[in-house]
Amino acid sequence: MRKAKSIALGVALALGATVASGVMAATTLENVMEKGRLQCGVTTGLPGFSQPDEKGNWTGIDVDTCRAMAAAIFGDPKAVDFTPLTAKERFTALQSGEIDVLSRNTTWTLTRDVSLGLNFAGVNYYDGQGFLVSKDIGVNDAAELDGATVCIQAGTTTELNLADYFRAKSMEFKPIVFDTSEQTVQGFAAGRCDVLTSDRSQLAALRSKLADPSSAKILPNTISKEPLGPVVRQGDDQWFNIVKWVLSVQINAEELGVTSSNADDMLKSDNPSIQRLLGTDGDMGAKLGLPADFGYKVVSLVGNYGEIYDRNVGPDTPLGLDRGINALWNDGGILYAPPVR
Amino acid sequence: MTDLSVMPPKKAIGPIQWMKRNLFSTWYNVVLTLVVAYLIVTSVGPLISWFFVDANFMGSDPKDCSGAGACWVFISQRLDFFIYGFYPGEQQWRVDLMFLLLAVAFVPQFIERFPGRKWLGLFGVVGLPVAGYILIPGGPFGLSEVESTKWGGLMLTLILAYIGIIASLPIGILLALGRRSEMPIIRGLCVVFIEVWRAVPLITVLFMASVMLPLFLPEGLNFEKLARALIGITLWQSAYMAEVIRGGLQAIPRGQYEAASALGLGYWRKMGLVVLPQALKLVIPGIVNTFISLFKDTTLVLIIGLLDILGTVQSTVTDPSWQNVAVEGYVFVAFCFWVFCFGISRYSQSLERKLDTGHKS
């Protein structure tokens, strides 16, 4: 029996010592090409951004950002492995090379961009913090919230934004802090607070969890700027450029009217902008170290930005979010991607 | 003819008599009975109707839930995800096979006269980790590789708990022996190890393993997150185990050690043949207690982004296309944990009975 135990111990230690094989190649792109997979850090489950579906497939805007990169690099949007990360460990996972890109609902701030050795490669969703109030209290504007009790999720920038907002307006509030978003909405439903605050993208989803969703409404105010986007390690400009331009290609594709369904027809287009976008003209891919038709692969396999938006958070999804400021610059929004040329 | 005066008084009384005697004997017992009966009726009734009567069991999408009772459709739709995590569908038979082997190895342990029970138990301790090491990650024998980032759900919970349990017991025994050793360096090292690991919360250990350790490792050497968590759990658990076992060692009378030495047994045979068998038997409840608490503590891997069974449930209850299904999800997790922890506890009780040599009184 003693021998048996020592064998079991040996096996356990052997399993523990399994080291992720492969020595780091020179650049992230080479490294990813060698693995044949992209390793992408996502949330542990946030509706519309990254959440596993019935079959355990990840879905959401952040997920599609990674799928678009895999489509650009390998021509296969499924060549991605997702690593669920908590808010606390996300930057370490990127810094240590455990993941190649962090696409995890991460707000672009000066501190994060400058002091963590990371680069934000763009914005795939402009969010902001908002309020959900019970209709009973008869409040129509956040400025009327003096003295309110506020349900809030712990450990997020949301908490700091809320304090900043109330202090700036010299209003009082009483925070009631919960651990998860789902507990926060339970607390709100049980009447423990007048107001629930969260990123606007999540408010509609949280409201749908109430027994009677029509008993609460979302206030028009947005009290913070939350530009969310993919993050890469500093010091590998080629990889940074790839992430940045894959995102730009999606936005440009929407602007030029190229969708996943008409991408094949668009290959014959006479428009030089579309030709450069889809790789029928110019050598845009080679400049990035990607295949010439990477733009075509991104749009035909994953879709343009509008399709990704509508599929994951748009008006026909349970989140039901209008484009708002996430519309194109020529359509009332602020999405303005540099041209592909 | 029977003499009625020597017959014992009738033991059995009718239910009405029993109630009169036990429930309604005095006025305050009457009040207490009525209050408790009222509480039971008002609380159990709605619970039963929520769990079963008004609940929705059949269906395949959110519309099949009426909202009046529990929405078990959510659980049945996500069951694969809760059990296998992201493990690819066409490879899930490998996990099923491991579940089967686990059952084959351990279910017979509850049946007293099952033939070859000991061998199955030995297989469970030795063969099962080997089989798991080959089957789950894949690689050899043409099995396609499945990276540990895709493991999840109940399967991950069992892997964490099983390896933690199997590895911590022998390490714990060695540490306990080391702490009682007469060699000062060994004793010192064991004391430091035990006191350091036992003094930090598991959540800190996991967090260090997940967030700090990668920063210290040279670039390119990158342990998988699961392996880091497993090493952390095992070391932490063995420190606890060592102290439980040391308790057993201290309960063995000095005479036993001396008698074993007098027989001419060396240190390892003295410990292996005389002291440990008695000591371990004494502390079975303590060991099992630690096992059960480890089994539940594995849910803490949630904070380092490993989706165990609780993690998979938590990541999906926020799905906006379903109504509020958080309670259903947590009830399901609680049930799964109860099944396994109750199983471990029953097994330890049968083990105690079997090993009882009548020294206890």
Q: Do the Cβ atoms of B320 and A47 come within 8 Å? A: yes
Under the phi-then-psi rule, with left for phi > 0, alpha for psi from -120 to 50, and beta for the rest, what region is A61? Answer: alpha
* B-chain residue closest to A317, CA distance: B321
Q: Is A190 on the interface with B (CB under 8 A)?
A: no
3-state secondary structure of A108: coil
- Residue A149 belongs to some domain of the structure: yes
Contacts of B222 in chain A (CB under 8 A): 19-20, 96-98
Select from B269, B319, B330 the residue whose CB has the most chain A CBs within 10 Å, as the one to mutate to test that interface.
Answer: B319
Name residue, tokens 């006025």: B27
- Residue A150 belongs to some domain of the structure: yes
Residue A178's DSSP bridge partners are A153
Q: Is A311 on the interface with B (CB under 8 A)?
A: no
Q: Do the Cβ atoms of B133 and A84 come within 8 Å? A: no
Contacts of A199 in chain B (CB under 8 A): none
Assigned fold of B146-313+326-355: MetI-like fold (1.10.3720)
Q: Provide CB contacts within 8 A for B41, sequence distance 6+.
A: none
Pairing of strands A173-178, A148-153: parallel
Q: What is the pLDDT of residues A130-189, one digit of tens each?
A: 999 988 888 889 989 999 999 998 767 788 899 999 999 999 999 999 877 778 888 998
3-state secondary structure of B55: coil
Across the interface, of B137, B221, B272, the residue whose CB is closest to A2 is B272
Would you list the domain boundaries of chain B? Answer: 12-53, 146-313+326-355
Q: What is the pLDDT, as a whole number, of residue B132?
A: 83
Select from A23, A78, A89, A153 the residue whose CB has the most chain B CBs within 10 Å, as the one to mutate to test that interface.
Answer: A89
Amino acid identity of A216? A
Which residues 70-129 of A are in CB contact (within 8 Å) with B? Answer: 81-86, 88-89, 92-93, 95-98
First-last CA distance in chain B: 44
Q: What is the pLDDT of residues B33-83, one digit of tens each?
A: 999 999 998 999 888 888 888 888 888 878 888 778 888 988 888 899 999
Residue/partner pairs of B183-191 with CB below 8 Å, 24 or more apart: B190/B242
Among candidate residues A290, A282, A277, A281, the one with its CA nearest the CA of residue A250: A277
Across the interface, of B84, B166, B314, the residue whose CB is closest to A8 is B166
In DSSP notation, B210-221 reads IIIHHHHSPTT-
Contacts of A83 in chain B (CB under 8 A): 149, 225, 305
Name residue, tokens 């005389």: B274
Q: What is the largest CA-CA distance in chain A?
A: 78
- Residue A255 belongs to some domain of the structure: no
Name residue, tokens 């292996």: B272
**DSSP state, A19?**
E
Q: Is B167 on the interface with A (CB under 8 A)?
A: yes
Q: What is the pLDDT, as a whole number, of residue A4?
A: 44
Q: Is B103 on the interface with A (CB under 8 A)?
A: no
Q: What is the pLDDT of residues A61-92, one digit of tens each?
A: 999 999 999 999 999 999 999 998 888 888 98
Across the interface, of B133, B149, B314, the residue whose CB is closest to A180 is B314
Q: Is B50 on the interface with A (CB under 8 A)?
A: no
First-last CA distance in chain A: 71
Select from A54, A313, A316 the residue whose CB has the most chain B CBs within 10 Å, as the one to mutate to test that interface.
Answer: A54
* B-chain residue closest to A59, CA distance: B319
Contacts of B230 in chain A (CB under 8 A): 12, 15-16
3-state secondary structure of A318: coil
Nearest CA distance, B193 vs chain A (angstrom)? 18
Amino acid identity of A48? G
Total domains, chain A = 1
Distance of CA B259 to the CA centre of its chain: 37
- Residue A294 belongs to some domain of the structure: no
Residue A273's DSSP bridge partners are none
Give the sheet arrangement for strand A195-199, strand by strand. Answer: A173-178, A148-153, A195-199, A129-134, A216-218
Higher pLDDT pick, B104 / A41: A41
Residue range of the domain that includes A194: 128-225
Residue A51's DSSP bridge partners are A59
A41 neighbors A58 (Cβ within 8 angstroms) = no
Percent of chain A with pLDDT over 70: 92
Of the given ranges (A32-41, A116-125, B19-28), which has the lowest mean pLDDT? B19-28
Q: What is the pLDDT, as a whole number, of residue A120?
A: 96
Q: What is the pLDDT, as a whole number, of residue B58?
A: 82
- Residue A154 belongs to some domain of the structure: yes
Across the interface, of A46, A92, A205, the residue whose CB is closest to B214 is A92
B270 neighbors B235 (Cβ within 8 angstroms) = no
Q: Do the Cβ atoms of B220 and A81 come within 8 Å? A: no
Higher pLDDT pick, A296 / B64: A296
Amino acid identity of A288? L
In sequence order, which ranges of chain A are alpha helices (DSSP H)?
2-16, 28-35, 61-74, 90-95, 110-115, 157-168, 181-189, 200-208, 237-255, 263-266, 272-278, 284-288, 294-301, 305-312
Q: Is B169 on the interface with A (CB under 8 A)?
A: yes
Q: Is A3 on the interface with B (CB under 8 A)?
A: no
A52 neighbors A58 (Cβ within 8 angstroms) = yes
Q: Do the Cβ atoms of B320 and A209 come within 8 Å? A: yes
Q: What is the pLDDT, as a whole number, of residue A9?
A: 43
Among candidate residues B329, B73, B300, the one with its CA nearest the CA of residue B202: B300
Q: Do the Cβ atoms of A4 and B126 come within 8 Å? A: yes
Output the pTM of the full model: 0.83
B323 neighbors B70 (Cβ within 8 angstroms) = no
Residue/partner pairs of B330-338 with CB below 8 Å, 24 or more apart: B331/B70, B332/B75, B332/B82, B333/B309, B336/B154, B336/B309, B337/B295, B337/B296
Is A42's pLDDT higher than 70? yes
Q: What is the pLDDT of residues B147-192, one digit of tens each?
A: 888 888 999 999 999 999 999 999 999 999 999 988 999 999 999 9
Q: What is the pLDDT, as a whole number, of residue B326?
A: 85
Q: In degrees to the nearest 10, what's the CA dihedral of B170, B176, B181, B183?
A: 80
Q: Do the Cβ atoms of B225 and A20 come within 8 Å? A: no
Average pLDDT, rounded, for chain A: 88
- Residue A253 belongs to some domain of the structure: no
Q: How many CB atoms lie within 10 A of CB A248?
A: 20
Per-10-residue mean pLDDT for chain B, 361 residues long?
65 79 86 92 88 84 81 89 88 88 82 77 84 81 80 92 92 94 93 94 89 75 82 93 94 91 91 91 90 92 88 88 85 94 87 72 42
Q: What is the pLDDT, as a whole number, of residue B361?
A: 42
Residue B29, H or E segment: helix B27-48
Distance in angstroms (rounded) separating the CA atoms of residues B103 and A190: 43
CATH number at residue A187: 3.40.190.10
3-state secondary structure of B85: strand
Q: What is the pLDDT, as a whole number, of residue A66?
A: 96
Distance in angstroms (rounded) separating the CA atoms of residues A143 and A77: 45
Distance in angstroms (rounded) separating the CA atoms of residues A188 and A171: 21
Of the given ranges (A155-169, A249-263, A293-307), which has the lowest mean pLDDT? A155-169
A75 neighbors A135 (Cβ within 8 angstroms) = no
Q: Do the Cβ atoms of A89 and B304 come within 8 Å? A: yes
Across the interface, of B126, B224, B302, the residue whose CB is closest to A20 is B224
Nearest CA distance, A276 vs chain B (angstrom)? 37
Q: What is the pLDDT, as a whole number, of residue A24?
A: 47
Across the interface, of A9, A55, A93, the residue whose CB is closest to B171 is A9
Is A14's pLDDT higher than 50? no
